[in-house]
């Protein structure tokens, strides 16, 4: 099957897992072109992809989306992420938008706050995740400043809760959550939220020359922060806010300027280690 060409990749995370995105939103300006596309990649068979167009009042945009953040039964997370970004690369994707649920490490955050990270700390053990190793990847401004600006504007206008236009996201391995001592360490290191999806995606986006940014719903306090979290509240947030988060993502896609004014593409250079790779 040929991989369709498009500019935008959307990775659905835990906040929209329970709905069919974008169909569940019932938007008049969205047309799903094709659903259930599975591709062979050098890293195994891909998850199911969907391609849709969104019109808005500006230029129509074509979006390739899948529903996972590297969690698939029987596939290790490194390969699951590599499959998605190999598809994005071959689709010509230039911007990757992500969403997910996170835990509050900063004690000023509350469940249902929205955060737009500007930086990350990778505490996972999956550092050696790439597609080709042709590039020196500079992780300064790793999360696209232009995309962050659009996400922040859309969320501030449309979300009936608090929106934080910066935060440091610490990435852990999962599947388990973190211990109170680990969270305390992350807090002292400057983390604001904890989750399990931004890495290795942020590296892979840089490698394929795409901008990367996301919006994240705080769904619980991390261990040892403020008060023990409740499973019912976590579940409630995942299910009740799915359409609201999906709507924000669609508005971000509508509003993203077609012309890039960020420096992301300058932060991928040819590797200096030729002969080794």
Catalog residues that contact Zn ion under the rule CB under 5 A: 144, 211, 262, 264
* Nearest approach, Cβ of residue 276 and Zn ion (Å): 29
* Nearest approach, Cβ of residue 209 and Zn ion (Å): 10
If the CB atoms of residues 68 and 147 are measured against Zn ion, the closer one turns out to be 147
* Nearest approach, Cβ of residue 97 and Zn ion (Å): 12
* Nearest approach, Cβ of residue 211 and Zn ion (Å): 3
If the CB atoms of residues 199 and 264 are measured against Zn ion, the closer one turns out to be 264
Tell me the C-alpha distance between 205 and 23, whole Å.
26
If the CB atoms of residues 103 and 117 are measured against Zn ion, the closer one turns out to be 117
* Nearest approach, Cβ of residue 260 and Zn ion (Å): 6
If the CB atoms of residues 103 and 214 are measured against Zn ion, the closer one turns out to be 214
If the CB atoms of residues 243 and 262 are measured against Zn ion, the closer one turns out to be 262
Tell me the C-alpha distance between 262 and 277, whole Å.
29
* Nearest approach, Cβ of residue 269 and Zn ion (Å): 16
Q: What angle, rounded to 10 degrees, do the helices at 145-158 and 242-255 form?
A: 130
Q: What is the 3-state secondary structure (H, E, C) of the chain?
A: CCCCCCCEEEECCCCCCCCCCCHHHCCCCEEEEEEEECCEECCEECCCEEEEEECCCCCCEEEEEECCCCCECCECHHHHHHHHHHHHHHHCCCEEEEEEEEEECCCCCCCCCEECCCEEEECCCCCCCCCCCCEEECCCCCCCHHHHHHHHHHHHHHCCCCEECCCEEEECCCCCCCCHHHHHHHHHCCCCEEECCHHHHHHHHHHCCCEEEEEEEEEEECCCCCCCCCHHHHHHHHHHCHHHHHHHHHHHHHHCCCCCCCCHHHHEEECCCCCCC
If the CB atoms of residues 66 and 144 are measured against Zn ion, the closer one turns out to be 144
If the CB atoms of residues 98 and 109 are measured against Zn ion, the closer one turns out to be 98
* Nearest approach, Cβ of residue 147 and Zn ion (Å): 6
């Amino acid at each position: 099957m040929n991989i369709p060409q498009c500019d935008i990749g959307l990775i659905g995370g835990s906040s929209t897992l329970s709905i069919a995105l974008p169909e569940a939103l019932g938007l008049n300006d969205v047309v799903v072109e094709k659903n259930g596309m599975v591709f062979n990649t050098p890293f195994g068979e891909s998850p199911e992809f969907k391609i849709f167009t969104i019109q808005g009042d500006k230029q129509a945009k074509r979006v390739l989306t899948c529903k996972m953040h590297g969690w698939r039964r029987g596939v290790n997370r490194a390969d699951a992420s590599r499959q998605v970004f190999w598809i994005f690369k071959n689709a010509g994707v230039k911007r990757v938008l992500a969403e997910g649920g996170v835990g509050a490490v900063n004690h000023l955050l509350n469940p249902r706050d929205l955060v737009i990270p500007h930086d990350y700390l990778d505490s996972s053990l999956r550092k050696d995740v790439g597609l080709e190793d042709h590039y020196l990847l500079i992780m300064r401004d790793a999360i696209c400043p232009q995309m962050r600006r659009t996400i922040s504007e859309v969320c501030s206008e449309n979300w009936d809760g608090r929106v934080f236009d910066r935060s440091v996201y610490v990435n852990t391995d999962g599947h388990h959550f973190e211990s109170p001592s680990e969270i305390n360490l992350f807090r002292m290191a400057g983390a604001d939220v904890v989750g399990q999806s931004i890495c290795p995606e942020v590296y892979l986006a840089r490698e394929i020359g795409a901008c990367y940014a996301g919006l994240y719903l705080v769904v619980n306090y991390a261990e040892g922060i403020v008060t023990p979290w409740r499973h019912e509240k976590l579940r409630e947030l995942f299910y009740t806010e799915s359409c609201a988060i999906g709507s924000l993502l669609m508005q971000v896609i509508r509003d993203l300027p077609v012309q890039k004014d960020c420096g992301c593409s300058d932060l991928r250079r040819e590797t200096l280690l030729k002969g080794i790779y």
